Structure 1
Amino acid sequence: MEKRRRKFQGVVNILSFNRHFYSIGLIGLGFVVLSQYLFTYNHSLKWFLVIAFTYGLVAPLVVSAYVYDFSRYYDFNWIDKLNLRESVGSKIVNMNAGFDETSYILKEKFQESNLQVFDFYDEMKHTEQAIKIARKVSSVYPNTNIINTSKIPLEDTCVDFLFLLSAAHEIRSNKEKITFFKECSRVLKNSGKILVVEHLRDVPNFLAFSIGFTHFFSKKTWKNVFEKANLKLKEEIKFTPFVSVFVLENNNKN
C-alpha cells in the first residue's frame, strides 16, 4: 500500500504537532498589540516585539514548506546520489520514534528489498510534546516492531541499509543515543550503511526555528555519538542549508 503526502503536509504537521507553541505565541502577539491601549511604552519596543513574535511564528512554517514540501525531500531521489546498491533480498531497516512518514516510500523505492520497521519511542524517556501529538495521527507500517533503544531484535551483521530519518533526535540522552547507535552498529553488515537525517543546532536552524533549534543537536554532538558507537562518518551531505544527511559505516569495515 502506497502512502502519498498531501500538499503542504509539512506545514500542516508543524502547525498540528506544535499547536501548544503556536497558541502561546499568538497569545503573546495579541498581548503586545493590545498592550498599547493599556500601557504607555516605547513604539520601537512595541514594533520590535511584534516583529519578533511574528518572525518566530512564521519562519518555521516557511522553512518547513521549503524543506519538506518544495525541495522534493520525500521523493527520495537524493538517496540515488549515495550509491546504495540494492540487490534482491537486501535487508533494510527503517527506524522511527512513533511517527512514520517514510516506510511506505522506502518500500516503493527499494522494491527488491526486505524492509523491516522499528519504533523505538518510549513515552517515559522521550517526553517532547510534539512527538506525543504526532503519534496520534501517524500511519503505522504493517508489522512495525516496538523496541527499546538498548536492544534491536536482529542478529549481528545482517542489515544492508539502516535509515534514521528525522528520528534520532527524539532520543534526548546522549548516553541513550550512544547505546542505541552501538546496537545499530552491531546489526549492520561490514558493507552496510546507516543514513541519519537531522536538522542541526546551528545558525541556519536558529534563524529558521529561533529557540526551537534547541530541539536538535549540534554536529559535534552527533560526531561524538557516532565515534563512541564505533561508527565512522563517511560523509555528510547537506540537503538544503537546514538538513544534514550523515552516511555512516562500521569502523571495523574490511
Structure 2
Amino acid sequence: MREVVRYNWPLYAAGGLAAGAGLLLSRRLPRPAAGLARAGAAAAAALLASSTAATWWVYDRSELRTFDWLAELLPAGPGEHLVLSSGLDEASRPVAARWPQHPQTVVDLYDPVLMTEGSIRRARRHVPPAPGTLPGRHDRLPVATGSADTVLAVFAAHELRRTGDRHGLFAECARVLRPGGRLVLVEHLRDAANTAVYGPGAQHFFSRQDWLRAAAGAGLHLAAQRRIGGLVTALVLTAPAPAPAPAPTAAAPTGKHLAP
C-alpha cells in the first residue's frame, strides 16, 4: 500500500485537499451552501479512506502476491513463459521463485510516449527493470513465434490507453504462444466493485468486455476466470489448439482388382 500511495501521491493529496477545502468553506458559506460543502468534504474523505483500505487489502493482505491463484489456474505451472511489464515488474521474481524449473523471459514494454500516467513514471524511477529484462514494444515482442506456453500480463496491459495499441499487444501475444498456449491477464476491471471503492479512479480501468473484445480480435478464447481479493480479475485466454489430423480412409479399389 505504501508503494501505491508513493506512486500515486498527487491523487491522494488532491483527495485530502478537497476534504480540507470543503470543511474550511463550510465555515464561511451560508447554511444551504455550507451543507453542500460539508457533504463534498465527507464524500472526498470517504473515497480516500475506501480506496486506501481497498489497496491495503488487495496488495498487502490478499493472495495476489502469493500467486496461489496462478497455481490454481495453471496446475502444471506456466511452462516456458513470458512476463510482460509496463515499467513496473512485480511478477517475474515471485513466479520464477515458485517455478524455478520453468524457463522465463521478461519483456518491458514501457514507452513514455504511449504510457503517460505519472504514477508509472514515478514507479519506474524507483524500481528499475530486473537484470536480463528485454526491451520491447507492444506491437513487436522480441520473442520467436510459437515459442511460449504462457504469457503473463500482470497489471501491464492497461497502461496502453489506446484501443488499437491493446489490440496490437494481444495479437503479438497470440503470435508468440504455442497452439493451446495461454495468456494470463490480471487487471482491475471497470465494474461495480471497483467503482464503489475507487470512485472516479475506476475509469482508469477497462471493462471485462473491452478485454474480451481485444482477445477475440487476436483469436484468443476465454478458458477460465478468477477473482483475486474481490477487486482484481485474472482471465485465462487460450490460443487455438491445432485441429486433429483426419483419420486415414481406406483406398477405393481400382479397376485392376475387379473381376473381369
Letter in 2 for 1:154: V
Q: Name the CA distance, whole Å, in 2 between partners of 1:122 and 1:102.
A: 19
Q: Is 1:178 the equivalent of 2:161?
A: no
Aligned to 1:66, which of 54, 57, 62?
57
TM-score, normalised to structure 1, is: 0.90
Q: Name the CA distance, whole Å, in 1 between partners of 2:44 and 2:237.
A: 39
Q: 8 Å contact 2:180–2:240 — kept in the other structure?
A: no
Shift in Å, 1:34: 1.1
Match of 2:38 in 1: 47
Q: Secondary structure at the match of 1:124?
A: coil
Q: Is 1:95 the equivalent of 2:98?
A: no
Shift in Å, 1:253: 4.5
Q: Name the CA distance, whole Å, in 1 between partners of 2:182 and 2:75.
A: 8
Identity of aligned residues (%): 26
Structure 1 segments unaligned to the other structure (5+ residues):
1-10
Q: Is 1:35 the equivalent of 2:34?
A: no
Q: Name the CA distance, whole Å, in 2 between partners of 1:139 and 1:253.
A: 39
Q: Name the CA distance, whole Å, in 2 between partners of 1:47 and 1:253.
A: 62
Aligned to 2:197, which of 201, 208, 214?
208
Aligned to 1:161, which of 146, 150, 153?
150
Structure 1 residue runs of 4+, over 4 Å off?
none
Match of 1:75 in 2: 66
Q: How many residues align?
A: 242
Q: 8 Å contact 2:220–2:238 — kept in the other structure?
A: yes
For the aligned residue pairs, the C-alpha RMSD in angstroms reads: 1.5
Q: Name the CA distance, whole Å, in 2 between partners of 1:32 and 1:211.
A: 18
User: Bigger radius of gyration, 1 or 2?
Assistant: 2
Q: Residues 20-64 of structure 1, C-alpha deviation per residue, up to 9 Å, x if partnerless? A: 111222222111111133222335423321220101211111111
Q: 8 Å contact 1:101–1:138 — kept in the other structure?
A: no
Letter in 2 for 1:195: V
TM-score, normalised to structure 2, is: 0.88
Q: Name the CA distance, whole Å, in 2 between partners of 1:55 and 1:86.
A: 41
Q: 8 Å contact 2:158–2:205 — kept in the other structure?
A: yes
Match of 1:123 in 2: 112
